[in-house]
Structure 1
């Protein structure tokens, strides 16, 4: 049978947890395990994994404040859950809670199970900003409408819906495991190759051409395109770490610009590091490193708006902006910022195998806006970016190719795609047939 793991604070929500358990089990093809992640240890015949089971000792968390209790319990609950997944004893996770319960349960969901494993969080926090809970994963969140603080008709209906949803997800996941399809794909590497590509609106033509070329050259490949919005880059890094991506065309590294300058779409300081650690075939470029992202015009920090500091004093040159749409404002990166972006990329790719990694620089422009006649065309700033990244990469033993075409030139896109194909096939050498302009 498919088995659902329920994570819950049994000291405060046991009645709701038990009701949800009965609702799941009413779907006759599912069983339930309850794991107690409460601050105070609770005993009940239907609690399958107690707090003491999780901690492996009689540690008393009742005197800890909420932050301390979460920090103490989360790693152990994560380890327990991960073991259950690896032993194929559970096939979905459901949790319910307020802010603390949501924070603890989603930490376990993010860290214990891979992308694709069913996970559903019923939460009082689900109608607000859920980014801190979901991160780059596929956690589904359902708003509880009323607080999870005693059963009533509204909450019972929400929990019954959640039970039906997680039971369906668990059965689907269990079926995919038991019929051997996913296991066979894992053993055989699934498709011939799983390729990740980073994309932004201003590099879309290049990515679409590269995707098409991969399908032509490697008909059995799967292509995963990640929107470089911060969460997209983090998701790609996660899937690489999990071994779910075999090769990367990291065409659009714009998230590094936001990370360095202070835009809203940074993907964290470790962007590009996962593929370095895994040493998988990879082609890297600098798509959209000419821009930093903010929200509407009114959200741009004052120091950038005025060319001065936040206090209004003169702090630098006036910045160049482009209103992409009413909710997205783009700011052109300066030469100094481009140098820092290149150094950060260089640092994170250091250690990559030179036979599996290449940097390709489109000197004709790095985005739709960075082309002759377009608002962000700045050959001097681009040259600083190219020169610094070339210096960093070569110092690390990573080959660098300069291509005079624009990043969105179809022939450029085809050339970098073919370069990655040859890296994947292990055929690339100094006599490569990849044609650069």
Structure 2
């Protein structure tokens, strides 16, 4: 079946570039679906969707977008594109999305892409996907491919011709040869969280679940992974979790560090009532950037992860607060929960004689969890480190038990 590529751009400033990309995509054997987000429109290209149509999706009835103040126009387009794109996709208007432009077009383009399912090909050719900017604002938790335009996207020349030809070939190739959006409800998918310092234990638990016939998606719990998992739970894609690395809760409490950005962890699974096996993996440290180290660093155990990031062990009063957040959220769960506590360390480097060995801190957390969790929440103390084999086997066994019980009900 012939694939259709949606092209999002401001036709008043990118008319020639859109015409070129349209031609290149059609040479690849695909059709195009043009969405204009510019103020003045185009004399030579008739879009399938006008900017006024985009704004109307957000409830703004503008006869001419050209007469609207720019800041108000951009807000209207941002809100409208996020509403309109899922509707257009559900109607079968396109199979992939390409956008191109500078700051305004990039902001609108990636907003459109963020509203679409993972797996649908998305490519943003941008003048600002470089320099001091980070990927966070562009991609969030979605699989958006970024291509720096190198030069300004202003006219067709040797450089822009090369970049845009590559972009057209890339998006057409993704649409024709891959581009299968992730769908929920087809089979039970288990979500798992891990990070480098808990990887051995979690990865082994994942293997055991896979050996039992379950598909597991693992998320790196360093600011984006946990947030992505929560979104997949809310969408119904993930139906059970081994949330074994809650490090992002510590980052949320501090409000800084490498792993900030995944607030309200645990809440999606608790609200959904899906089976949860939870462990406080990695909650006993904060991964500070070297430039933001605490003034009392000399009083804290710490270890350099690399030249830019330092893992700093929490103090007792800090980990008590982390434990209180965990218990508060788990106590609101609508489904079965098992909490597994590794008594000999919540990460690497926490065995006797190692850099972050501080049993009084870990014990303070363990006491909070035992004291604060609801009586119907099962607690399993494992006399091992989180990366030991017995921990992995216990985690997998508990989730398998829950899923078996769920199937019997």
Q: Superposed, which structure 2 residues align to 1:22-421 within 5 Å?
A: 22-28=23-29, 30-40=30-40, 45-56=45-56, 57-58=61-62, 60-62=64-66, 66-110=70-114, 112-128=115-131, 129-173=134-178, 189-190=186-187, 193-216=188-211, 218-219=212-213, 221-261=214-254, 262-295=256-289, 297=290, 299-301=291-293, 304=294, 306-307=295-296, 318-354=299-335, 356-394=336-374, 398-421=377-400
TM-score, structure 1 normalization: 0.85
> Is the Cα–Cα contact under 8 Å of residues 5 and 34 in structure 1 kept in the other structure?
yes
Contact 1:290 1:376 in 2 (8 A): no
Structure 2 residue corresponding to 1:422, chosen from 386, 401, 404: 401
Whether the aligned pair in 1 keeps the contact of 2:202 and 2:392 (CA below 8 Å) is yes
Contact 1:353 1:398 in 2 (8 A): no
- Quick one: distance in 2 between partners of 1:389 and 1:208? 24
**1:425 Cα offset (Å):** 2.0
Q: Could you say if the C-alpha distance between residues 255 and 19 of structure 1 is closer, same or farther in structure 2, counting changes exceeding 3 Å?
A: same
1:59–1:288 distance in 2 versus 1, CA, 3 Å: farther
Query: Distance in 2 between the 1:76 and 1:347 partners?
Result: 37
Give the drift of 1:45: 4.5
Normalised by the size of structure 2, how large is the TM-score?
Answer: 0.90
Aligned alpha-carbon RMSD (Å): 2.4
User: In 1, distance between residues paired with 2:82 and 2:149?
Assistant: 24
In structure 1, stretches of 5+ residues that fail to align are 309-316, 430-437
Partner residue in 2 for 1:314: none
SS in 1 for 2:171: helix
Deviations 1:142-165 (Å, cap 9, x if unpaired)? 010110122212101111110011
The number of equivalent residue pairs is: 400
Give CA-to-partner distance per residue, 1:203-240, whole Å, 9 cap, x none: 12211220221123x22x21222222212222222222
Distance 1:103 1:392 in 2: 44
Extract unaligned runs of 5+ from structure 2: none
Shift in alpha-carbon separation, 1:381–1:67, aligned structure 2, 3 A: farther
* Larger deviation, residues 260-269 vs 248-257: 260-269
Stretches (4+) displaced over 6 A: none
Distance 1:210 1:153 in 2: 52
CA change 1:44–1:273 in 2 (3 A) is farther
Listed one character per residue, the Cα deviations across residues 304-354 of structure 1 (whole Å, up to 9, x for unaligned) are 1x329xxxxxxxx83322112223211111112112222323344343224
